[in-house]
């Protein structure tokens, strides 16, 4: 069987050819880059070799200040922090990265990845009860939570604070968490939103 890439959006062929030749990549990759607004060597270099000095201000994200303040408070008060992520590639990768970072300077942290078959996707009641029963004062959810209104309400009733970090499209109403970090929120206007 013959499998071939099919371009969803064909970019300007002249720009694709120019970029393909300039950075010595396959035209398929050049097409993807041009569709992302990358049209020359310098833009491609900035994309493939990012520089910390060129990162966008994270505080452009709505609720970032509340998230940082609550995380700082948890660390200052030696609260137990639970890093909670979904059971897929972006969820587990996010948990591994965030947990490793926090663990490098703070020991009172654990992680929780729900059983997809028993708990389903996203934040589960079992996970919320786990946090409450094990005295976690703060849960940082990664890759999930943007539509978990009932689960976050339960957490609030049980005295567990949540910071939600998600990239999925939110509904009209957001969960009542300490902070909801999601670039797809309507009021968020940040570069690289998608």
Q: pLDDT-based confidence at 43, cuts 50/70/90?
A: very high
Q: pLDDT-based confidence at 2, cuts 50/70/90?
A: confident
CA dist., res. 128 & res. 8, Å (int)? 40
Residue recorded with tokens 């957001």:
174
Task: Tell me, yes or no, if the pTM score tops 0.85.
Answer: no
Question: Dihedral sign, CA of 48, 49, 53, 59?
Answer: positive
Question: Which of the pair, 1 or 104, is modelled with greater confidence?
Answer: 104
Question: Dihedral sign, CA of 166, 193, 65, 59?
Answer: positive
| CB atoms inside a 10 Å sphere around CB 26 | 10
CA dist., res. 149 & res. 158, Å (int)? 14
Contacts of residue 69, defined as CB under 8 A and 6 or more positions apart, other chains included, come to none
Q: To the nearest whole number, what is the mean pLDDT of the chain?
A: 92
Instruction: Give the pLDDT confidence of 75-127 residue by residue, as tens digits.
Output: 999 999 999 999 899 999 999 999 999 999 999 999 999 999 999 989 999 99
Q: Please, what are the domains in the chain?
A: 13-52 (no CATH), 58-181 (3.90.1640.30)
Helix/strand number for the chain, H first, E second: 8, 5
Percent of the chain with pLDDT over 70: 94
| CB atoms inside a 10 Å sphere around CB 72 | 10
Instruction: Give the pLDDT confidence of 61-81 residue by residue, as tens digits.
Output: 899 999 999 999 999 999 999
Most confident by average pLDDT, 2-6, 50-54, 57-61, 106-110: 106-110
Most confident by average pLDDT, 33-37, 86-90, 172-176: 172-176
Asked if pLDDT for residue 21 goes beyond 60, the answer is yes
Asked if pLDDT for residue 186 goes beyond 90, the answer is no
């Amino acid at each position: 069987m013959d499998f071939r890439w099919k371009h969803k959006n064909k970019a300007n062929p002249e720009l694709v050819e120019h970029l393909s030749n300039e950075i010595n990549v396959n035209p398929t990759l050049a097409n993807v880059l041009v569709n992302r607004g990358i049209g020359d060597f310098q833009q491609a270099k900035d994309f493939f070799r990012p520089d910390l000095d060129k990162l966008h201000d994270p505080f452009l994200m709505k609720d970032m200040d509340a998230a940082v303040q609550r995380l700082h408070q948890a660390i200052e008060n030696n609260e137990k922090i639970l890093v909670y992520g979904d059971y897929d590639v972006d969820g587990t990768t996010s948990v591994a990265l965030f947990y490793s970072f926090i663990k490098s300077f703070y020991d009172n942290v654990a992680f929780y990845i729900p059983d997809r078959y028993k708990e389903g996707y996203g934040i589960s009641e079992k996970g919320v009860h786990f946090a409450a029963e094990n005295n976690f004062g703060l849960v940082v959810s990664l890759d999930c939570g943007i539509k978990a209104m009932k689960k976050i309400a339960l957490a609030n009733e049980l005295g567990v604070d949540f910071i939600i970090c998600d990239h999925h499209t939110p509904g009209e109403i957001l969960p009542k968490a300490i902070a909801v970090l999601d670039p797809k929120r309507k009021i968020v206007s940040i570069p690289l939103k998608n």
